Amino acid sequence: MTQELAIDVRGLVKRFGSKTAVNGVDIQMPRGQVWGFLGPNGSGKTTTIRMICGLLKLTDGEGECLGFDIRKDASLIKAQTGYMTQKFSFWTDLTIRENLEFVARLYRLKNASRVVDETLDGLSLSKRQHQLAGALSGGWKQRLALAAVSMHHPKLLLLDEPTAGVDPQARRDFWDEIHRLSSNGITVLVSTHYMDEAERCDRIVYLANGKKVAEGTVAQIIDMSGLITFRGEGENVRHLAPQLEHAPGIDHVAYFASALHVSGSDRSAIRHALDQLNDDGADWKEVRPSLEDTFIELKARAGDDTRQHA
């Protein structure tokens, strides 16, 4: 059973003092897939990833990563995992080549210098290999980091917001690389805030307040949320937003160029609110909620949830 799962963790809890960062998270992730790890800032993504690769002790819970106990076999897990930290954590005062060589040596790769040459080639960084890593732009730093953490042919990649603050072209290149690695059989868990990236994943795990509040494919998550969205189009539809934002039954309103999305979980309540509007310039239709609408709804619900329990 565990052999088919790259990650199999149950009831992960992590407390820092009185603060509970992760509160009972289960993840069962099969090998060879690409999963997205989503959730608002501070929801516990980084902490969960750190526990999975043995960088943080668990307060509670148990599990295996690549078949090894995450509480006892951290060193075995590390040898077969590549972990890319949220903040660039290579040595800015070493050159690109020196960074790669250091990593290659720590993993005791055979023919380290040839592997580094190939990696530099693959990154098209051969010409700049003697520049300091700190001098690279954000996008290049992230590509260097990905190359560095996959140089030892790990079975699992844990990527923590690898594309934050990177331009669209660089993000696309980065994801092409993720899919190339995945097609070689590597399992990838990647945390992100970008919807388009979430849609590139086989499956999504969504955290809020340290708890897993949704898991599934994009379509499943939208369906499961039970969210109802109406789209209104028209010249002056935007001026209606202030009225709608506080109307009963409407959880949130999202602006688009000449359209509004209003969402909630009760269809007739939304219809009622829309009927109350004394403006006939807008044309309202029910549409399929976007992933973004769904996440905003999930986050709001999780917020309500904790407020009740607090």
Partner 1 sequence: MTTLARILAIIMKEAVQMRRDRMTFGMMLVLPVMQLILFGYAINTDPHSLPTAIQMEEDTPITRSIISGLEVSGYYAIVERTQSDMESDSMLARGDVSFVVTIPKGFTKRLLRGETPQLLIEADASDPSASSNAISRAQVIVQRALAHELYKLNGDPQTAPPLFELVIHPKYNPAAVTQYNIVPGLLGVILTMTMVMMTSLAMTRETEQGTMENLLAMPARPIEVMLGKISPYVIVGAVQTLVVLAAAIWVFKVPFLGSFWVLSLGVVIFVIANLAVGFSFSTFARSQMQAMQMTFFFFLPSLLLSGFMFPFRGMPNWAQMIGEILPLTHFLRIVRGTMLKGADLHQLQPDINAMLLFTLFMGAVAMVRYRQTLD
Q: Tell me which residues touch ligand ADP (CB under 6 A).
A: 16, 19, 21, 39, 41-47
Q: Which residue, 41 or 169, is less far from ligand ADP as judged by CB?
A: 41
CA distance 120 to 106: 18
Residues 85 to 124 in contact with Mg ion, rule: CB under 5 A: 86
Which of 18, 41, 75, 268 contacts partner 1 by CB under 8 A? 75
The Cα angle at residue 154 between residues 33 and 152, in degrees rounded to 5: 150
Q: How many residues bind partner 1 (CB under 8 A)?
A: 22
Helices (H), the chain: 45-52, 74-80, 96-106, 112-123, 138-150, 168-183, 195-198, 218-225, 241-245, 267-276, 291-309
Q: Which residue, 205 or 228, is less far from ligand ADP as judged by CB?
A: 205
Q: Which residue, 129 or 209, is less far from ligand ADP as judged by CB?
A: 209
CA distance 215 to 27: 9
In the complex, minimum distance from the CB of residue 52 to partner 1, in angstroms, rounded to a whole number: 11
Distant-in-sequence, close-in-space partners of 275: CB < 8 Å, separation ≥ 6: none
Distant-in-sequence, close-in-space partners of 184: CB < 8 Å, separation ≥ 6: none
Which of 45, 78, 143, 155 contacts partner 1 by CB under 8 A? 78
In the complex, minimum distance from the CB of residue 105 to ligand ADP, in angstroms, rounded to a whole number: 29
In the complex, minimum distance from the CB of residue 271 to partner 1, in angstroms, rounded to a whole number: 51
* Contact track, partner 1, 41-60, x by CB under 8 A: ---------x--xxxxx---
Is residue 101 within 8 A of residue 112, CB to CB? The reply is yes
Sign of CA dihedral 105, 107, 111, 116: negative
Which of 23, 43, 46, 81 contacts Mg ion by CB under 5 A? 46
Residues 104 to 163 in contact with partner 1, rule: CB under 8 A: 106-107
Which of 23, 43, 85, 290 contacts partner 1 by CB under 8 A? 85
In the complex, minimum distance from the CB of residue 158 to Mg ion, in angstroms, rounded to a whole number: 12
171 binds partner 1 (CB under 8 A): no
Which residue is it, tokens 């059973």? 1
3-state percent breakdown (helix, strand, coil) of the chain, nearest 5: 40, 30, 30
In the complex, minimum distance from the CB of residue 208 to ligand ADP, in angstroms, rounded to a whole number: 9
Helix (H) or strand (E) holding 160: strand 156-160
Q: Which residue, 81 or 191, is less far from ligand ADP as judged by CB?
A: 191
Q: List the structure tokens of 60.
A: 């509670």
Residues in contact with Mg ion by the rule CB under 5 A:
45-46, 86
